[in-house]
Structure 1
Amino acid sequence: MGQIASQLCNQSAKPNQETDSTRQSLPPPPPPPSNGVAKAQLTYNDFEIVKSLGQGAYGNVYQVQKKTNNKQFAMKAIKKSKLLQNGMDLQMLMEKNVLLKNKHPFLVTLKYSFQSDKKLYLVMDLCKGGELLSYISQLNRLGISQEVAKFIGAEVLLGLEYLHKKLKIMYRDLKPENILVGEDGHIKIADFGLAKHFQSENEKCTTVCGTLEYLAPEIIQSLQPGFQGYGIEVDIWAFGIFLYEIISGQPPFTHPKRNPEIIMKKVLQNKLQFPSYFKEESKDIIIKCLQNNPQERPTWEQLKSHSFFSSINWDDLYKKQVMSPILKHIPKRQEIKKQARPIIETQTDEIYKSIKDFYYAPQSLVNQNSNQS
């Protein structure tokens, strides 16, 4: 176990073990426009920063506006140096293609993508409600977390089902931090940096990745000699952990200091304990998702018919014809008018290779005078 914990902690410093298979299975980018009209390509100079939204291991996320029309978006700026050092360049191409190809109301979609010598830029939907994580403690304190879990869980379920069935994508990174809330209270699944394209539902992979508390037991076991790997069922396990955390405020298998060895031992032991306020239907659906044997976990269709979701009208939910129960809990932030600032890249002599097929802008674009979105 100690060796596995050590390998897991060092995972981000290693090249991606799935690079070769990822290279073969990336969803293809859409064909370029064929009208023969040359268009100027967008760059980071076409946008201005409104404010910072967060910082990650590979770069920053900003709220930005497009200079030509002041429309606002979320922009992820990723440092090529760190990507290439860790062999993650193909994973970023994967994320770009997932963002671009999906047409689902509960998944973040791509508006533009481009690169400079130093960075990759993804311009996406702006979800002004922020991360779902910031709402969980409040919902739990108000005693409405189980009702909200049905709504949020149902929207997440539809998004994950679409990834599996339509895009053939294993998500591998479900957690409240990656679920964003829109101004309308509906959610969007974000951050596809750990996504894996699969050819068949029986396909296995062995790369250990994801958030400790959300790792399925077979992901932990995949580092053991002779283990055959894991499949798409890891997203079902993560869904059970996700529901538990929404309802209780924390995942079922955790540790105050997030000790990897202790957390993974708890995952493998799988001794679920529920606070007294958990309803029977809540406990039952979580227990079904958290089966040690991946083949015993329910499918998305089976989960949709579970009594936990009996009040959900799936068609109305997909069309967003259901009012979100967290809409009234979204902070009424007063927009402070700040002068947007230009995006500036530090001047150095470092130039990194171009990531092929990374650029995207709508075909109707692009020149400096365009008023397109």
Structure 2
Amino acid sequence: MEQLGDYLVRRLVGEGGMGKVYEGEERLSKRRVALKVLHPELARSETGRKLFVNEMQILAHLEHPNVVRSLASIEANGQLAMVLEFLDGRTLRTVLGEEGRLPWAEAIRIVAAVASALSAAHGQEPPIIHRDLKPENIMILTDGTVKVMDFGIAKMLQAMNQTNTQSVGTLQYMSPEQIDARTIDHRADLYALGLVFYELLAGKPPFSSASPRQLLNLQCTAEPPPLEADVRSGLPKGVEQLVFQLLEKAPEDRPYFAQDVVDRLEPFQVAAPAPARTSPGRMSSHGATTPHQKSPTPRTIPEGPAPSDEGKPAARSSDPRSDRQSDEAKAPRRENAGAGARKDTIALVDQVDQGREVPMKVAVGIIVGLSLLAGLGAYLVRSTQAAEDPASTGAPTATATATATTKNTATGKVRGR
């Protein structure tokens, strides 16, 4: 395939169960793009075609500087394709693998940008719930811009599976309600955001196990371990409390809106030093990260934590949960509006009774879905470093992704389907 509509196809950069991704070029403007083409056999399937078109429509309407951008949707030569922005940079997973834990200022900047993207998605009508937020689905571009990708991958898989007794997600980043196969809302994304936040600060996830069953038990029942003393000593007061609030097992105990997270992190971003750029002087044509974009949902935001005097960390107790409880006693509570080893798998898990240890049949029933993840997930494209030095083996990668919709309930609450 050398041409698809008005786009010249340069090279194949990724392939999976849903389709192929090519580096392309718009014929007249010479703009470099990513072309995600649905597999012909899926294009002939009503379900496959519907999911792909649904993804097109959601990406076309989700405009946010921290979400991968859709440029066009085309159907030509019997092929159905999405035209996406071409991203230069590295996934957050690659950044963590190469650099380890991040300075708190950079971690806050990234988390605030991701929260801003989630706020925009959750505020859509119908709302979009990511369901598979993790470092692999977050890109750091060469100019420092943060991009969230793959909205709704797990939701697509769940729709294709046609069952309400299974939950879908990446084990390392699943919320307790996803594991329990309960009806979820947007706060499942906030739990995953808390897991990512913790990992950025600690350099490792709070829960790890070589056993999938044990990992599920930890996600459902275990308290996250406190951050190490050298990490905690440098954090501004209020940041650690937010991390642990995001990791609350009960959705109603977490911050309600993603925008709340943005607002609470804003004071620390103002005082934080500018992040180091991967490629100084090279700016994205789509603009810098703007993590302060407000959610369209009107509400009263509780007052967030304030930085300590002269930007110095404030004293706190040895247990972050005691600090958190103290803060919660002072802050108004929201009403509940809705009902080591990393696991890079999409897992289908039988329903688990809440409050009990995950039974053995659940662990036995876990299905490894790496091929599905590859098909619906990230594609690799040549980075700026690779373009400048083709022989480089440490070049960053870039990724483009899919999204999926969810529906509101009759009560108007933000809910999953």
TM-score for both structures, normalised by structure 1: 0.63
Q: 1:275 to 1:72 in 2, by over 3 A?
A: same
Structure 1 residues 337 and 287: alpha-carbon distance in aligned structure 2, compared to 1, 3 A threshold: closer
In the alignment, what sits opposite 1:254? Answer: 208
Q: Distance in 2 between matches of 1:212 and 1:84?
A: 32
- Separation in 2 of the partners of 1:83 and 1:232? 30
Q: By how many angstroms is 1:65 displaced? A: 1.3
Inter-CA distance 57–251: structure 2 relative to 1 (3 Å threshold): farther
Cα distance change of structure 1 residues 66 and 106 upon mapping to structure 2, 3 Å threshold = same
Cα distance change on mapping 1:155 and 1:90 into 2, 3 Å: same
The 3 A distance-change label for structure 1 pair 293 and 334 is closer
What residue is the counterpart of 2:276 in the other structure?
A: 325
Q: Deviations over 1:68-96 (max 9, x none)?
A: 23210122223253577794443322321
1:191 partner SS: coil
- Kindly state the Cα deviation for residue 46 of structure 1 after the two structures are TM-superposed: 3.2
Kept in 2: contact 1:109–1:124 (CA 8 A): yes
Please give the secondary structure, in 1, of the residue aligned with 2:167: coil
Contact 1:58 1:79 in 2 (8 A): yes
Could you say which residue in structure 1 is the equivalent of 2:56? 96
Aligned AA for 2:145? H
- Residues 208 and 219, structure 1, Cα contact 8 Å, conserved in 2: yes
What is residue 289 of structure 2 aligned with on the other side?
none
Larger displacement relative to structure 2 (152-161 or 129-138):
129-138
The C-alpha deviation readout for 1:305-356, integer Å capped at 9, x for no partner, is 43x5422259xx9xxxx95434459985152699xxxxxxxxxxxxxxxxxx
Shift of 1:191: 1.8
Letter in 2 for 1:325: A
In structure 1, what residue type is equivalent to 2:4?
Y
Q: For 2:84 and 2:103, locate their aligned partners in 1 and report how far apart those are by CA, in whole Å.
A: 29
Whole-Å Cα distance in 2 between the matches of residues 132 and 273 of structure 1? 22
User: Cα 1:207–1:78, aligned 2, differ >3 Å: closer, same or farther?
Assistant: farther
The Cα of 1:186 is off from its aligned counterpart by 0.5
After TM superposition, what 4+ stretches of structure 1 lie above 6 angstroms from structure 2? 83-86
Decide whether aligned partners of structure 1 residues 336 and 107 sit closer, same or farther in structure 2, where only a CA change above 3 A counts: same
Indicate yes or no: 2:222 matched with 1:270.
yes
The 3-state SS of whatever aligns with 1:325 is coil
Please point out which of 174, 178, 190 is paired with 2:149: 190
Conserved? CA contact 2:128–2:151, under 8 Å: no
2:186 pairs with 1:232: yes
Inter-partner Cα distance in structure 2 for 1:253 and 1:129: 28
Q: Is 1:159 aligned to 2:117, yes or no?
A: yes
- SS for the counterpart of 1:74 is strand
The Cα shift of 1:207 comes to 5.7
Alignment match, 1:127: 87
User: Contact between 1:98 and 1:192, CA under 8 Å: does it hold in 2?
Assistant: no
Q: Who is 2:363 aligned against?
A: none
Q: CA 1:211/1:195 → structure 2, altered by over 3 Å: closer, same or farther?
A: closer
- Distance of aligned partners of 1:171 and 1:138 in 2 relative to their CA distance in 1, 3 Å threshold: same
- The alignment status of 1:303 with 2:261, answered yes or no, reads yes
1:293 and 2:250 correspond: yes
Which residue of structure 1 lines up, in the alignment, with residue 395 of structure 2? none
Residue 220 of structure 1, aligned match among 164, 179, 182: 179
The alpha-carbon distance between structure 1 residues 206 and 92, as it changes in their structure 2 partners (threshold 3 A), is: farther
Identity of aligned residues (%): 23
Letter in 2 for 1:93: V
Question: What is the SS of the residue equivalent to 1:278?
Answer: helix
1:311 is paired with a residue of what secondary structure?
helix
The CA distance in 2 between the partners of 1:125 and 1:312, in whole Å, is 27
CA contact (8 A) 2:13 2:23 kept: yes
Q: Match of 1:264, as an amino acid?
A: L
**Matched AA of 1:121:** A
Structure 1 residue 155, shift from structure 2 partner = 0.7
Deviation for aligned residue 1:261: 2.1
1:16 counterpart residue number: none
The two structures, once aligned, show a CA RMSD in angstroms of 3.5
One-letter amino acid of the counterpart of residue 52, structure 2: M
* Contact 2:66-2:114 within 8 A present in 1 as well: yes
Worse-superposed segment, 52-61 or 128-137: 52-61
Give the total of aligned pairs.
274
Q: Kindly provide the CA deviation profile for residues 207-241 of structure 1, in whole angstroms up to 9, marking residues without a partner as x.
A: 6222111111111112xxxxx52222101111101
Q: 2:25 aligns with which of 53, 65, 87?
A: 65
Please say if 1:110 is aligned against 2:67. Answer: no
- Structure 1, unaligned runs of 5 or more: 1-42, 198-204, 223-227, 339-373
1:156 partner amino acid: V
Indicate the larger mover: 208-217 or 81-90: 81-90
Separation of aligned partners in 2, 1:149 and 1:267: 22
* Equivalent pair of 1:65/1:73 in contact (CA under 8 Å): yes
Q: Does 1:241 align with 2:195?
A: yes
- For normalisation by structure 2, the TM-score amounts to 0.57
How far the C-alpha of 1:264 sits from its partner, in A, is 1.1
Alpha carbons 2:66, 2:146 under 8 Å: kept: yes
Give yes or no for contact 2:74–2:82 (8 Å, CA) kept in 1.
yes
Which ranges in structure 2 are unaligned for 5 or more consecutive residues?
Answer: 157-163, 283-382, 391-417
The whole-number CA distance in structure 2 between the counterparts of 1:114 and 1:56 is 20
CA distance in 1, matches of 2:76, 2:167: 30
